[in-house]
Amino acid sequence: MRYAMAVDTKKCVGCSDCVVACQAENNVPHGYAREWVVELVEGSYPNLEMELRSERCNHCDNAPCVRCCPTGASHIVEGGIVLVEHNKCIGCGACITSCPYDARYSHPEGYVDKCTFCEHLVKEGEDPACVAVCPTKCLYFGDLDDPRSEVSKVIKNRKYKTLIPEAGTDPQIFFLT
């Protein structure tokens, strides 16, 4: 099993509903976020292009944050989901520095936090909160090892990219372009 997500940048409108739903689902404190929206504009008026995309932890296959964690709090569970065990985390921040995507933040309660792919919902067979709420249905989630999963299908049929592939982290979030 390999959980992954695809973000259709052709459909995302940058509304941040995914962020709001994540905050509520995961009790993310105000002023912090596990996910965020990026707006990239290229060209000059009126020859412009813009990409909107919702970003979060890439649940990298080759995760530097896990490798550098001195306590083992950052770890990988079933399906390749990268998690932080709050009790074990000493808040040293090594992982924050090592992550090329700036996907982690220091929780005010002293540990490091980030996107969990809503692992608590996923193991019940539900979609992550962001996927379930997205009004444009531009987020796809599922098992890459299962060719019938939504995410496998869109990745097979569409062009896509990953972020900072040169970092060698092997990200598992795919941006459909």
Q: Which residues bind another protein (CB under 8 A)?
A: 10-11, 13-17, 19-21, 23-25, 30-31, 33, 41, 43-46, 48-52, 132-138
Site string for ligand SF4, 35-54 (x = CB under 6 A): --x----------------x
Q: What six digits make up the tokens of 52?
A: 């909107």
Residue 59 interacting partner from another protein, ligand SF4, none (CB closer than 5 to 8 Å by kind): ligand SF4
Q: What is the CA radius of gyration of the chain?
A: 16
Q: For ligand SF4, which is the closer residue by CB, 47 or 118?
A: 118
φ, ψ dihedrals at 75, nearest 5°: -150, 170
Q: How far is the CB of 117 from another protein (least distance, A)?
A: 18
Q: What residues contact 167, with CB distance under 8 A and at least 6 apart?
A: 64, 100
Residue 81 interacting partner from another protein, ligand SF4, none (CB closer than 5 to 8 Å by kind): none
Q: Is 131 in the site for ligand SF4 (CB under 6 A)?
A: no
DSSP 133-152: H-TT--EEEEETT-TTSHHH
Contact indicator for 25, 118 with CB cutoff of 8 Å:
yes
